[in-house]
Amino acid sequence: MPNLHLHHLENSRSFRTLWLLEELGLEYQLTQYDRKNGLAPDSLEQAHPMGKAPVLEITFDDNSQSDLTLIESGHIINYLLAKYDPDYQLHPKVDADSETWRDYDFWMQFAEASAMPPLVMRLVFSKVVERSPKLVRPITKHVRKQVETSMIGKNINKVLSLIERHLSENQWFAGSEFSGADIQMAFVVEAANARSGKGGGLDQNKYVNTLNFLNRCQARPAYQKAVEVGGKLDF
Ligand SMILES: N[C@@H](CCC(=O)N[C@@H](CS)C(=O)NCC(=O)O)C(=O)O
C-alpha cells in the first residue's frame, strides 16, 4: 500500500480530499497549514510549486513506480477513486451513454470551471473592503457593490439555479448514489452558503433542495471525521 500524505490548508478545497480519504477508509499522513492574511503560507510551495491546497503526495515503498505529487482537487478525487474504489461505490464507470456518468463528469468539471470563479471573486471583493483603510472604505464598498450587481451576483445566481434544479430532480449530483461529484460540489455549496462578506447564507426557501443536500453531506460520518481532523469550513 503506497503512503498517502495530504497537505491540508485550513478552510480550503483540501477539505474535499480529507473527506474522500475518510470515505474510503484510507490511512494517510496529514500536514496542516494555517492561512496567513487569508492566503496559503509560502511553505506550501515546498510541497508543490503552485503553493495551493490540496497537494497529495504518494510514495511507493516497494519502488513499483515513481512517487507522485498531485494537485487539483478534482484530479485527486478521480485518482483516488480510480485506485481505491474498484467496486464503484463512490463513482460510476466511464460510459458516455450513461446519464449518471455524464452527470458525474459534468458536475466534477462545473465545480471548478464555472461555479468557483464567481464565488472566489465575491470573497476577494469582501476581503478588499474589509482590509481597506477606513478613509477609502466608502470607495471600495461602492466598487464592490457595482461589481456585485453587474457581474458576480448574476453569475452566482445562475450557478445556484442550475444546482437547485438538478437537486430538485436528483438525490445526489450523479443520480441516486452519493459519489465523488458530491464531494466536489459540496464545497461549492458551502462557499455559496457563506454568511460572511456579501454572502449572507442561502435563501432557505429558494434553495431548499441545495440546503437539504448539504445537510445530508454533513451528516455523513466521514464528513464529520474530516471536520474533526482538519477543522470546520468557515468562510
Ligand atoms: N482548482 C484548484 C484550486 C486550488 C486553490 O486555489 N486552492 C486554494 C484553497 S481553497 C488555495 O490554496 N489558496 C491559497 C492561496 O491562493 O494562497 C483545486 O481545485 O484544487
pLDDT in tens, 157-215: 999 999 999 999 999 999 899 999 999 999 999 999 987 655 579 999 999 999 999 99
The confidence band for 234, taking pLDDT boundaries of 50, 70 and 90, is confident
pLDDT value, residue 198: 54
What sign has the CA pseudo-torsion 222, 223, 224, 226?
positive
Ligand 1 pocket test, candidate residues 9, 11, 13, 50, most atoms within 8 A of CB:
13
Domains and CATH numbers, the chain: 3-84 (3.40.30.10), 99-220 (1.20.1050.10)
Compute the average pLDDT of residues 101-127.
96
| Global confidence as pTM | 0.96
The confidence band for 229, taking pLDDT boundaries of 50, 70 and 90, is very high
pLDDT value, residue 63: 84
CA-closest candidate to residue 122, choices 61, 171, 191, 224: 191
Residue 13 in contact with ligand 1 by CB distance below 6 A = yes
Q: Which residues contact 167 (CB under 8 A, 6 or more apart)?
A: 173, 209, 210, 212, 213
pLDDT in tens, 29-55: 999 999 998 899 999 999 999 999 999
Residue 17 in contact with ligand 1 by CB distance below 6 A = no
pLDDT in tens, 48-107: 999 999 999 999 999 889 999 999 999 999 999 999 999 999 999 999 999 999 999 999
